[in-house]
Structure 1
């Protein structure tokens, strides 16, 4: 009977050790070590992980915005500035020749100015910017003039007048080249 009790105790201890080692592998902390050197390494690496560039904190509360919803990508270095999506679009086409940027003013208070840069790609590409947002539009067939379309924006130039649709469900804006 004592052997059976010892066998169960050994099995329980083995299970606990397995469970504890599995839990410690899931955390980013180092396993308990006999020296305090490994503990200080774990503490300093967790402090380094908390350093964040202000551009990742849109609501300025000191917490990376992705930590609020659990969407953080652990391959991203959050100590560096957030990449500018408009600059990334222009960088993609940097090897191609371009015309522009051209600024257009519209007869609308909601969306007064747009910037357009045309790239010599096949089909032609237009990067249309409004504020901090940008859309990549591809050249589309047009009976006359120059037309570019994308999922949420379009640009159609015809006889010096430009018609821009920006965002889903918005009406067409009539714009002209800014002087």
Structure 2
């Protein structure tokens, strides 16, 4: 069949529109919570091009909103300032050997941190651990069903949030300068930078 000029145009115009649509949609492949048209820096551009990272950004936005509601009467108000600091740290992932993996880890840990701190997920505990045979040396631990799993440990007036780490046996959690490693009801706890290990047993 021979197509006339009008017929040719009726076929070619939709194809051109389709091609332009494909090109336009490919500029930003994903939809995070922020506006990709205003993406600032390499990491935000990476998030806008990665469906999984964009989904994590949307998830974090939901969790942050829930945490903000619980933090409404928090004094001093620290959540907003902490979030700004976290964003700055996330954006430093461009310096990493694997910026994408770094960014994903930052998101997963921040989501878990907010869920635990503001009790947005189911928890187990608290459990009391007596360390080095001294009843006055006590650590109170609450576990949270986050992903990755987390715990909040309290010792006196100090509090540490820790994230579960891979381990050959037992359950190992790492905080900024603290470590909790439990195996069969006994735990090794480090509390503070270069502090000695404490041997702790869980109270019945």
Query: Between Structure 1 and Structure 2, whose CA radius of gyration is higher?
Result: 1
TM-score normalised by L of structure 1: 0.48
| TM-score for both structures, normalised by structure 2 | 0.42
Higher helix share: 2
